[in-house]
Structure 1
Amino acid sequence: MTSEEEPTVQAAMDPLDDLVLAVRGDQDGESPDYELPPSVTLDQASEILGLTTEDSRRMQKDGTFPVPVIPIGSTRRVGTAPLIRTVGLTRVRKALRYRG
């Protein structure tokens, strides 16, 4: 994928039947360039956005967090697609690389 291409992001299932975001740079390609989780924790989103934990929690409570926050029980999640739109695909992809 070149820097001029706009990636497409679609929901897909990985080989283990987990929901992922399939990111494709080539509109005609069959397989995704890479896959990302559909959402991340509030702490992961804060790191991607360059916010401290304290600032992000305050902003989330005030309703001023830069991207929509999804409450799930007592936890808070942030959609990966809004993060991509806010800070760019490269930054999100680097932050979410699996360590192993």
Structure 2
Amino acid sequence: MVGMTRAELLELPVAIDLVTAARALGIGRTRAFELIRRGEFPVPAVRVGATWRVPTAPLLQLLGLSADR
């Protein structure tokens, strides 16, 4: 799995799926779901129906990037 470039990260929408968040963090899908299950994913995530959504702002903050570009 390849991470994301700074430009790709800054173009993300307001909320993303868990797999995209994992890619941004440089972790795999399986590990991301394992962390969610244990309540240890490093940024907030919200379950919406059968999917997980991750707000982009806290993700960018964790990565040391500004959401305002």
Q: CA deviation at 1:36?
A: 4.3
Matching of residue 43 in structure 1 with residue 38 in structure 2: no
Q: TM-score, normalised by structure 1?
A: 0.53
The one of 66, 82, 90 equivalent to 2:42 is 66
The number of aligned residues is: 58
In the alignment, residue 33 of structure 2 is paired with which amino acid?
R
* Bigger CA radius of gyration: 1
RMSD: 2.1
Q: Distance in 2 between matches of 1:49 and 1:36?
A: 13
Distance 2:29 2:12 in 1: 23
The runs of 5 or more residues in structure 2 that have no matched partner are: 1-9
In 2, Cα distance between the equivalents of 1:35 and 1:53?
Answer: 21
Provide TM-score, normalisation by structure 2: 0.74
Task: Give identity over the alignment, percent.
Answer: 40
Alignment match, 1:81: 57
Task: Kindly indicate whether residue 32 of structure 2 is the aligned counterpart of residue 56 of structure 1.
Answer: yes
TM-aligned CA deviation for residue 75 of structure 1:
0.6
Report which of the two has the higher share of helix.
2
Higher relative contact order (CA 8 A, sep 6+): 2
Give the match's secondary structure for 2:53: strand
Superposed structure 1 runs of 4+ greater than 6 Å apart: none
